[in-house]
Amino acid sequence: MSTNPKEPVNRRNFLGAAARVAAMTGVGALLGKLAGATAAKGTVWQIDPAKCVRCGKCATACVLEQSAVKCVHAYAVCGYCELCTGYFGPEPNELTTAAENQLCPTAAIQRTYIEDPYYQYHIDEKLCIGCAKCVDGCNRYGNGSLFLQVRHDRCVNCNECAIARVCAGDAFVRVPVDQPYLLKTKPTTS
Amino acid sequence: MKIPLPQDPLGRREFLRGGVRYGLLVGLAAMAARAVSGKRLVNQDCTSQGICRGCPDYTDCELPQALSARQAPPISDTGAYEEVCRIAGGKMPSRSLAIGPEDRLYLATGNAVLVLNQAGVREQEWTLDAPVCCVTVAPDGTVFAGLRNRILHLDSNGNRLADWQVPGNRTWLTGLAADANDLFAADAGNRVILRLDRAGQCIGRIGEKNAERDVPGFIVPSPYFSVMIHPDGLLRVNNPGRHRVEAYTLDGDFEGAWGKASGAVDGFCGCCNPIRVVPLPDGRMITCEKGLPRVKIYSATGEFESVVAGTNAFPENARVGAGERDADAALAGLTAAVDSRGRIAILDHVTGAVRILQPKAGGKA
Amino acid sequence: MFRRLLHLLFGLLLLSATALAEQRFPPPDFESGYQLPTPTTPAPRAGLMQYADVVVLLSALALALWLVYRTRSRRGITALSLFSLAYFGFYRKGCVCAIGSVQNVALALCDSHYALPVTVLIFFLAPLTVALFAGRAFCAAVCPQGAIQDLVLIKPLKVPAWLETPLGLIPYLFLGAGVCFAATGSGFLICRYDPLVPFFRFNGSELMIGLGVAFLLAGLFVGRPYCRFLCPYGALLRLATLAAKWRVRVTPDTCTQCALCQHSCPFGAMREPTGMQKREPLKTSRLRLATFLLLLPVLVGLGAWGGSQLATPASKFNRTVKLAGRYVRSLTTPDRFPMELQRVEANPGPVLAKAEEIRQQFLLGATLFGGWVGLVFGVKFISLCLRRNRTDFEPDPGTCFACARCFETCPSERIRRGWIPAELETARSKE
């Protein structure tokens, strides 16, 4: 084989060049077709709280040892109730922080007294496993201020989210990376 | 002997020339494909997706299919009442119900007040300029409609008699009650009952926390707060955060309360119930609850008597209230009203349907 | 366009939230001066850093090309693959990678609601473009999956041709299946069944960890089993190298036909000079070629028919189709896990219609996939009949990972590097 860059035009070189031209045309066509379908910013996974059915699979289906999904508290939506149905199990013995009264399996919700009769509920993310038990309690009877979100300090942003694949409510959506949370806000209607 | 690299990688000039050539090729192909493939994304609004979050922008949209697909079972599983009629309201979201002269139904739905005759036929539709949150009918037949922070006084044909702005930036009216002289407005945002005269002047604030008068204060975590005038002449107000119904004089003296938090049928479950209390002519009281949507009757002194309609009568309401539907959970709720014949009308805020219940013959009603 | 897409993705929830922020139901009026905390929102890593990934990818590709074609240094390639393994593998947890990007591109082409991140498009195109001109330099030292296998290879065994040829077709089939599933929105098979990513994440399902261990164990003795016998992106690159302008060449001078390079290649990529092969008579070859050329459309047709038969069972892997099926069954027999069914029960129409639409897509997709399988087999048969003339030992550009192992075994290269005095070698060859 010659080391001279000006190779003679033989069948092989010609076919090679034709294939390259065809392939580059293909690449160009692909680019053009996708031009309107690209997002410069990229996307991340997030849970649409309006679609979440609290099936509990977030706690187990994530590829991470401890799920990237955690409970988030929208304080502005919270009623600060003394009897919090996201904190207390059904029919609590008394409204105290005793473990047997709590709904959370890992005691990840901290209840602090503010003033009569209001209590603040705070999620300790280190303990939260994303099981959605509190979310269910809060949504079923309360204001729905507790909800699940993908925490992006933990999420590795898999190409195909393993939780999205099994999500019972089909609540996982790709959101733009610069607005990565779907936080709940206060109810708009009266 | 110096042996060169096996393949002389292209010289800079040839590399650049090739780069430009192939770059042009790619660019041309891309433009051609772009031109051929055309537009891709279609604009979607919430109704075409079957999603309604009850936003004010969409107050008048037709009921999403998702919420109207299933017919609720008739109310017949309780001893005292049976369902005799069901009126499809049809608009989303419906928020309040009142019964006026000749047992007409006044339905606050979307931006309008619907007037239905006792057979459920729509007689009038008064379109107002904002979502209607609550409605009541005064003994003289005129109608008060509460918008978020305004009260409209309408005559029986919907003509506007007055338009009062209620001061306060947290104002969020959710309930109205009128007697011959006064209008009482439940302001869920400020956690207070306002007493207004017929000129729209605020002549009293009832139920604000006040240790001297022994008034405990209302706890209203969500916009479910109502006031009613009991036949005994006192006001009955639901205090959802304390799971009880409280009685006040018209001047704002706290007279007593009943109700307890409990998952059992005789108590109020969840964090904040009842959401509404409606007195019957004989002094007993109807309570409406959310979470587990149900309607119950308590005696005048607050003893539990019976369930009028249980959770299974409002399946969609329960699911929306629990956030299991693509609709704002704060839309869920029930409103009851009593007509002159002792029949109970229950408005399901989610489906917009009104269920008319009458006491069963021979039942303990 | 981006803004509209953004809104679409975001839904109306936030739209109405921003527009009506002052109209919210007020929280309790605290007398103690308590201030409402706001929930924390840690920023995703993907923001700026995704562009860092692209920069690293492009630099690594350029470096790999330079190492393969200019310095011809195996040591440099090893060092670069160690870096790629550390960065793309263990630091970036193997996501997003060029292998998986095939599916994103397929999905973006078929689903108008999916927006393809530009970075993913670059991850897809950059190695492919490089392969179009200069072979699989990506596989050599940039791909973390390739790197981890290359590094565990200690005692390469030769895979016999009768086994290697059919196994080498699997990547094409996997590519077809992966594209078919991605295009119908049924999931990313290629990501799901990537056996090496669990190592990068130190976590995964039992099945995938087991598979990964199996691949790495096999990789001790068989060079890069995943790359050669499974990797769908590798199949794409292999096709691209058909057009490659520059090819890896072992000897810098004349080939001494010593076959040392062939022995050094753990991936069976070296092709011996045609003079050293046993060949059947030209007439037989031509006859066979003609037969397979005629057979090609038959194979494609057969494949397409077979594929269309697979459409219905394959469509059941789609979540919507599965859900619709469960809903229909639940009408007669109650379902054990009704939570998933709730959203169908509320409004079965759209879900059933969507399922039917996906079934139709699967019919097309599976037919195309079947045709693709037929085509792959047919072309393989044909390529086996083609007679090529080689005077030297040359790597097959499609199979060669450009790992640079062979260079240092070539006597001519050793002379070039001055490892053997040229005179000695010339004298030896004259004997």
Chain B residue with CA closest to A75: the answer is B221
* Helices and strands in chain B: count of H runs, count of E runs: 3, 24
Question: Is pLDDT larger for residue B120 or for residue B106?
Answer: B106
For the sheet with B254-258, list strands across it.
B227-229, B235-239, B244-248, B254-258
**Cβ neighbours of B241 in A, within 8 Å:** 79, 81-82, 117
Check residue C428 and give its pLDDT: 60
Instruction: Measure A97 CA to nearest chain C CA, in Å.
Output: 21
Lowest average pLDDT, out of B18-22, B181-185, B199-203, B234-238, goes to B18-22
Dihedral (Cα; A38, A43, A48, A53), 10-degree rounding: 110
User: Which residues 261-300 in chain C show a CB within 8 A of chain A?
Assistant: none
For chain B, domain boundaries: 69-359
Asked if C4 is an interface residue toward chain B (Cβ–Cβ < 8 A), one would say: yes
Check residue B289 and give its pLDDT: 93
Q: In percent, how much of chain B has pLDDT > 70?
A: 81
Please indicate whether, in this complex, the C-beta atoms of B172 and C25 are within 8 angstroms of each other. yes
Check residue B5 and give its pLDDT: 61
**Cβ neighbours of B324 in A, within 8 Å:** 53
For chains A and C, what is the number of CB pairs under 8 angstroms?
Answer: 205
Comparing CB atoms, the residue among C26, C69, C72 nearest residue B189 is: C26
Please indicate whether, in this complex, the C-beta atoms of B9 and C5 are within 8 angstroms of each other. no
**Cβ neighbours of A168 in B, within 8 Å:** none
- Strand pairing of A146-150 and A38-39? unpaired
Q: What DSSP assignment string belongs to B9-43?
A: PPPHHHHHHHHHHHHHHHHHHHHHHHHHH------
Dihedral (Cα; A86, A88, A90, A95), 10-degree rounding: -140
d(CA B131, CA B59): 7
Residue entry with tokens 């280190």: A126
Asked if the model's pLDDT at residue A189 lies above 60, the reply is no
Q: For residue C266, which amino acid is it?
A: P
Task: Spell B131-163 as b/e; 16+ CB within 10 A means b.
Answer: bbbbbbbbeeebbbbbbbbbbbbbeeebeeeee
Query: What phi, psi does C79 have (nearest 5°)?
Result: -60, -45
Asked if C209 is an interface residue toward chain A (Cβ–Cβ < 8 A), one would say: no
Of B66, B135, B74, give the one whose Cα is nearest residue B355. Answer: B74
Averaged pLDDT for residues B50-65: 38
pLDDT band at B161 (very low <50, low <70, confident <90, very high): very high
Please indicate whether, in this complex, the C-beta atoms of C50 and A177 are within 8 angstroms of each other. yes
Chain A residue with CA closest to C27: the answer is A76
Q: How many residues does this entry show for chain A?
A: 190
Please indicate whether, in this complex, the C-beta atoms of B330 and A187 are within 8 angstroms of each other. yes
Structure token pair of residue B204: 């009293």
The neighbours of chain B, by the rule of 3 or more Cβ pairs under 8 Å, are A, C
Please indicate whether, in this complex, the C-beta atoms of C5 and B56 are within 8 angstroms of each other. no
Q: What DSSP assignment string belongs to C314-340?
A: HHTTSHHHHHHHHHHHHTTS--S-TTT
Average pLDDT, chain A: 85
Residue C125 neighbours by CB under 8 Å, 6+ apart:
A27, A30, A31
Lowest average pLDDT, out of B162-166, B226-230, B326-330, B334-338, goes to B326-330
Q: Which residue stretches of chain C have pLDDT < 50?
A: 1-22
**Cβ neighbours of A184 in B, within 8 Å:** none
d(CA A159, CA C133): 28
Instruction: Measure C239 CA to nearest chain A CA, in Å.
Output: 10
Please indicate whether, in this complex, the C-beta atoms of B39 and A36 are within 8 angstroms of each other. yes
The answer to whether the beta carbons of residues B204 and B252 sit under 8 Å apart is yes
Q: For residue C112, which amino acid is it?
A: S
- Complex confidence, ipTM: 0.84
CA B87 and chain centroid, separation? 18
Comparing CB atoms, the residue among C17, C44, C115 nearest residue A37 is: C115
Chain C residue with CA closest to A76: the answer is C27
Lowest average pLDDT, out of A90-104, B294-308, C13-27, C183-197, goes to C13-27
Averaged pLDDT for residues B171-186: 93
Asked if the model's pLDDT at residue A111 lies above 70, the reply is yes
User: Which residues 255-314 in chain B show a CB within 8 A of chain A?
Assistant: 261-263, 269-273, 290-292
Check residue B43 and give its pLDDT: 31
Asked if C29 is an interface residue toward chain B (Cβ–Cβ < 8 A), one would say: yes
Instruction: Measure B43 CA to nearest chain C CA, in Å.
Output: 8
**Cβ neighbours of C12 in B, within 8 Å:** 45-46, 51, 53, 55
**Cβ neighbours of C412 in B, within 8 Å:** 3
Which residues of B have a CB under 8 Å from any CB of C?
1, 3-7, 9-10, 40-46, 50-51, 53, 55-57, 65-67, 69-70, 148, 170, 172, 188-191, 219, 221-223, 316, 319, 324-325, 330
Check residue C304 and give its pLDDT: 96
Q: For residue B142, which amino acid is it?
A: T
Asked if the model's pLDDT at residue B68 lies above 60, the reply is no
Structure token pair of residue B73: 């079972």
User: Which residues 359-418 in chain C show a CB within 8 A of chain A?
Assistant: 392
Please indicate whether, in this complex, the C-beta atoms of B31 and A32 are within 8 angstroms of each other. yes
Residue entry with tokens 């399988």: C373
What residue spans of C20-73 are helical by DSSP H? Answer: 46-66
Under CATH, to which class is B69-359 assigned?
mainly beta
CA A46 and chain centroid, separation? 3
d(CA B346, CA C222): 74
Check residue A143 and give its pLDDT: 85
What are the Cα distances from residue C105, in Å, to C65, C92, C102, C193?
A: 25, 20, 5, 18
Check residue B7 and give its pLDDT: 55
Lowest average pLDDT, out of A58-62, A63-67, A124-128, C113-117, goes to C113-117
Residue C320 neighbours by CB under 8 Å, 6+ apart:
C351, C354, C355, C358
Of B287, B286, B341, B295, give the one whose Cα is nearest residue B317. Answer: B295
**Cβ neighbours of A1 in C, within 8 Å:** 249, 392
d(CA C214, CA C218): 6
For chain A, domain boundaries: 7-37, 43-176
